[in-house]
């Protein structure tokens, strides 16, 4: 029974990768770079986007907002006058705990790709399954908050290993939580040696400039 389950999972991931490649081709043709933003519920993904979307150099940003249901985050971001498209996994996708390539493909017709250089896909808040499903993105980023604890890279290694960038958020809470930054970085290095990290506070703005610069450097293949 377990082996059957594992095989089904592997088949599903193969099928997902095929659709992800089709998405990537479509994004490439439109000259859109795509960044998949992941993290636990409440890590501060939306708060971080609120900080940087308004000014991204010459880049025109867009957001594909993934949630199980509702549109709270999309509503927050839409007030920044950035194109935001909502994708709900509860509508037609059985309430899945992650985005997959097929869901993103279903949203393609609704995305104003001609007005966007950098599309940020905010995934469902979850440290497990989003890391398993490519969606056709160029880069994967995650946000981990110091309030979540320093053991998270060891408990959810696939997620920390999947990303090109790990943002360590809520620096302003450091004096009030039991979180040893050196130990966190040590754990992170154990599961993903050399991965880039940026420490910041989306709440106070400290360190946000570094994330903004990182984002601006993402679209090496974006149109001039």
β-strand partners of 154: none
Smallest separation, CB 122 to a second copy (Å)? 12
Among 54, 55, 92, 221, binds a second copy (CB under 8 A): 92
Site track for a second copy across 132-151, x = CB under 8 A: x------------x-xxx-x
Here's the x/- map for a second copy, 149-188, by CB under 8 A: it reads as x-xx-xxxxx-----------x-xx--xxx----------
Per-residue buried b or exposed e for 36-61, using 16+ beta carbons within 10 Å of the residue's own CB: bbbbbeebbbbbbbbbbbeebeebbb
Q: Which of 34, 35, 40, 200 binds a second copy (CB under 8 A)?
A: 40
Q: E strand or H helix at 85, and its extent?
A: strand 84-88
Of 27-35, 57-65, 113-121, 125-133, which segment contacts a second copy by CB under 8 A?
125-133
Q: Are strands 61-67 and 165-169 parallel, antiparallel or unpaired?
A: unpaired
Which CB, 31 or 157, lies closer to a second copy?
Answer: 157
Task: Check binding of 94 to a second copy (CB under 8 A).
Answer: yes
Q: What backbone torsions phi and psi does residue 184 show, to the nearest 5 degrees? A: -60, -50
What is the b/e burial string over 158-174, where b = at least 16 CB atoms within 10 angstroms of the residue's CB? ebbebbbbbbbbbbeee
15 binds a second copy (CB under 8 A): no
Tell the smallest beta-carbon distance from residue 62 to a second copy (Å): 21
- Shortest spacing between CB 196 and a second copy, in angstroms: 21
Side by side, the strands of the sheet bearing 84-88 are 84-88, 61-67, 118-122, 33-39, 139-145, 165-169, 196-199
Asked if 42 touches a second copy (CB under 8 A), the answer is yes
Location of structure tokens 């408990």:
155
C-beta of 181 vs 222, nearer to a second copy: 181
Closest CB to a second copy among residues 96, 164: 96
CA distances from residue 206 to 140, 168, 177 in whole angstroms, order as listed: 22, 12, 18
Binding site for a second copy (CB under 8 A): 1-2, 5-6, 9, 40-42, 67-70, 72-73, 92-97, 102, 124-129, 132, 145, 147-149, 151-152, 154-158, 170, 172-173, 176-178, 203
């Amino acid at each position: 029974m377990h082996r059957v389950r594992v095989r089904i999972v592997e088949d599903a991931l193969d099928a997902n990768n095929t659709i992800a490649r089709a998405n990537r081709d479509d994004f490439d043709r439109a000259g859109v770079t795509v960044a998949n933003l992941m993290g636990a519920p409440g890590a501060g993904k939306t708060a971080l986007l609120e900080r940087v979307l308004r000014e991204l150099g010459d880049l025109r940003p867009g957001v594909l907002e993934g949630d199980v249901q509702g549109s709270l985050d999309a509503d927050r971001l839409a007030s920044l006058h950035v194109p935001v498209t909502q994708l709900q996994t509860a509508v037609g996708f059985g309430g899945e705990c992650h985005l997959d390539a097929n869901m993103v493909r279903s949203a393609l017709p609704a995305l104003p790709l001609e007005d966007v250089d950098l599309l940020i896909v905010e995934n469902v808040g979850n440290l497990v399954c989003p890391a398993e499903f490519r969606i056709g993105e160029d880069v994967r980023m995650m946000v981990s908050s110091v309030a979540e604890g320093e053991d998270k890279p060891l408990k959810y290694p696939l997620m920390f290993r999947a990303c090109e960038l790990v943002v360590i958020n809520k620096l302003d809470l450091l004096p009030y939580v039991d979180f040893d930054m050196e130990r966190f970085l040590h754990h992170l290095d154990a599961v993903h040696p050399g991965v880039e990290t940026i420490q910041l506070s989306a709440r106070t703005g400290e360190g946000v400039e570094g994330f903004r610069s990182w984002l601006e450097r993402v679209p090496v293949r974006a149109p001039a």
